[in-house]
Amino acid sequence: MLTTTNRRVTIEDEYRARTRASAALHAEACTVIPAGITHDSRLTLPYPIFVARAAGPRKWDVDGNEYVDYFGGHGALLLGHAHPAVVEAVQRQVSLSTHWGASHALEVRWAQLVQRLIPSAERIRFTASGTEASHLALRLARAFTGKPKIMRFVGHFHGWHGEVVAGAMSHFDGSVPAGIAPSLLDQSIVLPAEDIPRIVETLQTRDDIAAVIFEPSGASWGQVPLPPGFIARLRDVTRKQGVVLIFDEVITGFRWSRGGAQARYGVTPDLCVLAKILAGGLPGGAVAGAKAIMDQLDLAAAKAAAREKIGHQGTFNANPLCAAAAVATLGIVETTDACERAEAAAAEIRNGMRRVLIEEGVP
Ligand SMILES: Cc1ncc(COP(=O)(O)O)c(C=O)c1O
């Protein structure tokens, strides 16, 4: 853009001019929070906007600028911001307590919704995040099979705990990420998802693999599609080899279809990891899967099966405020065309972006 003085005004100049309050808050944030941000993916240059409020598909920053929100709460907000049913459920709950530290009816309703929607969900255990759920799923699989190794795929993200970071976002060469014990790397077999013959051969020839975990959308939240036939082939070979198949449905759950990728593709894993939409825009995660595996969390059932019970704590598991938002959201997922509408909107956006890239000659 050119001004009357012919000085070139960049997008960054304009951004800075419009977001002075965000700039001030960011400067303040940098004195207390590393880089001034609380999630790596919120890093924005020269500094992020600071949001003041949001409604439906829009949000407004502290300078009063209005945005169309393509981020959707990191993918958690299938219904958009401040959906009336979710707001009402959370408001009702907050005065009854934000944390009973006890069993409650809402967690049962929440689990029942997951059980009805997700094909593999014979049993559900809630956690406070997707990262925690991925951690628990791997432990359940190791305990169930008595085997140590986990097969993962290059670029597939399963949260930020130490077992799953190498080869997911960085260190694709197998080197040790800073702060990770080298012995943890030894517990993963990380392969390229494109190489189905090598994956199958590894599963058929090794007898130390507890589980295979992957994003059924393909790596990096669906940016790198899986090769055709990948999911069905993995189901087939893991079943034959007695390896636990885990779908990481943190992104795809209640979005690829109301039953997640597993319902959309008609392939049922042994376990799946859920979060994001699961908790209706509040924090929460879950492992859902086969009763025989999940029963390791049940003292009596584990004893009856001559297994050791798996310990699982978590102060905020199935937090009632989260459960209230979740039950309101998943109820809408179950009874309306929310998923289909999201799918149609996404297709329209993809097609529009593709048209622009073609028109602009961007390869
Ligand atoms: C596929 C996948 N798995 C796991 C996670 C971790 O979930 P959380 O951020 O709730 O810990 C994410 C988060 O983006 C994800 O996209």
268 and 331 in a single domain? The answer is yes
Pick from 278, 260, 277: nearest CA to 269:
260
Quick check: CB of 221 below 6 Å from ligand 1? yes
Please indicate, yes or no, whether residues 124 and 237 belong to a single structural domain of this protein: yes
Alpha helices in 242-362 (DSSP H): 260-265, 291-294, 299-304, 320-335, 338-359
| Ligand 1 lined by 261 (C-beta under 6 Å) | no
For 206, the domain range is: 84-335
Residues 269 and 237 grouped into a single domain: yes
Q: Domain check: are 162 and 294 in the same one?
A: yes
pLDDT at 363: 82
Ligand 1 pocket, 159 CB below 6 A? Answer: yes
Question: DSSP letter at 175?
Answer: P
Is 352 within the bounds of a domain? no
Is any atom of ligand 1 closer than 6 Å to the C-beta of 250?
A: yes
Q: What pairing do the DSSP bridges indicate for beta strands 285-289 and 271-274?
A: antiparallel
Same-domain check for residues 205 and 319: yes
- The pLDDT of residue 222: 87
Do 61 and 160 belong together in one domain? no
Structure tokens at 220: 């990096």
Summary mean pLDDT of the chain = 96
Over the stretch 174-227, which tens digit does the pLDDT of each residue have? Answer: 899 999 999 999 999 999 999 999 999 999 999 999 999 999 999 998 889 999
140 and 30 inside one domain: no
Output the pLDDT for position 336: 98
Measured in angstroms, how far is the CA atom of residue 132 from the centroid of ligand 1? 9
Average pLDDT of 286-305? 98
- pLDDT 10s digits, 64-101: 999 999 999 999 999 999 999 999 999 999 999 999 99
At CA 250, angle to CA 220 and CA 135, rounded to 5?
Answer: 95
pLDDT at residue 2 in the model: 46
How many whole angstroms from 250 Cα to the centroid of ligand 1? 6
Nearest-CA residue for ligand 1 atom 5 is: 159
For residue 215 and ligand 1, the question of a CB distance below 6 A is answered with yes
Residue 189 lies in a domain: yes
Q: Is 251 in the pocket of ligand 1 (CB under 6 A)?
A: yes
pLDDT computed for residue 360 by the predictor: 96
Q: Is 134 in the pocket of ligand 1 (CB under 6 A)?
A: yes
DSSP per residue, 223-256: TBPPPTTHHHHHHHHHHHHTPEEEEE-TTTTTTT
The CATH number that applies at residue 31 is 3.90.1150.10
> Is 97 found in the same domain as 62?
no
Looking at the fold, whether 21 and 156 belong to one and the same domain comes out as no
Instruction: Pick the residue whose CA is nearest to atom 12 on ligand 1.
Output: 159
Residue 171 lies in a domain: yes
Q: Single out the residue in 28, 46, 70 at which a domain terminates.
A: 70
How many domains is the chain built from? 2
Question: What pLDDT score was predicted for residue 5?
Answer: 54
| Predicted confidence band of residue 7 (pLDDT cuts 50, 70, 90) | low
In a domain, 362, yes or no: no
Q: Regarding predicted confidence, which is higher, 293 or 172?
A: 293
Task: Give 168: exposed, middle or buried? Use CB within 10 Å, 0-12, 13-18, 19+.
Answer: buried
| Separation of alpha carbons 247 and 231, rounded Å | 10
Q: Is residue 19 scored above 80 in pLDDT?
A: yes
Average pLDDT over residues 150-174: 94
**Do 192 and 138 share a structural domain?**
yes
Q: Are residues 232 and 206 in contact, defined by beta-carbon separation less than 8 angstroms?
A: no
Single-letter amino acid, residue 89: A
Which residues make beta-bridge pairs with 212?
151, 245
Determine the distance separating the centroid of ligand 1 and the alpha carbon of 160, expressed in angstroms.
8
358 domain residue, yes or no: no
Confidence label for 339 from pLDDT (cuts 50, 70 and 90): very high
CATH code of the domain covering residue 276? 3.40.640.10
pLDDT for the residue 1:
46
Is the separation of the CB atoms in 197 and 162 below 8 Å? no
Please state the φ and ψ torsions of residue 212, each to the nearest 5 degrees.
-120, 130
Give the model confidence (pLDDT) of 39-60 as tens digits.
Answer: 999 999 999 999 999 999 999 9
**Atom number, ligand 1, closest to the C-alpha of residue 275:** 10
Q: Domain for residue 327, yes or no? A: yes
Q: Is 248 in the pocket of ligand 1 (CB under 6 A)?
A: yes
Of all residues in the chain, the percent with pLDDT exceeding 90 is 95
Q: What is the pLDDT of residue 6?
A: 57
Q: Tell me, yes or no, whether 257 lies in a domain.
A: yes
Claim to verify: residue 259 and residue 309 sit in the same structural domain: yes
State how far the Cα of 93 lies from the Cα of 96, in Å rounded to an integer.
Answer: 5
Q: Is the CB of 319 under 6 A from ligand 1?
A: no
Residues 140 and 191 in one domain: yes
Q: How far apart are the CA of 300 and the centre of ligand 1, in A? A: 31
Percent of the chain, pLDDT > 70? 98
pTM of the model: 0.96
Across 109-119, average pLDDT: 98
The confidence score (pLDDT) of residue 301 equals: 97
pLDDT at 4 over 90: no
- Is the CB of 158 inside a 6 Å radius of any atom of ligand 1? yes
Residue 285 near ligand 1, beta carbon < 6 Å: yes
In a domain, 298, yes or no: yes
CB-based burial, 280-295: b 16+ in 10 Å, e otherwise: bbbbbbbbbbbeebbb
Closest ligand 1 atom to residue 156 Cα is 1
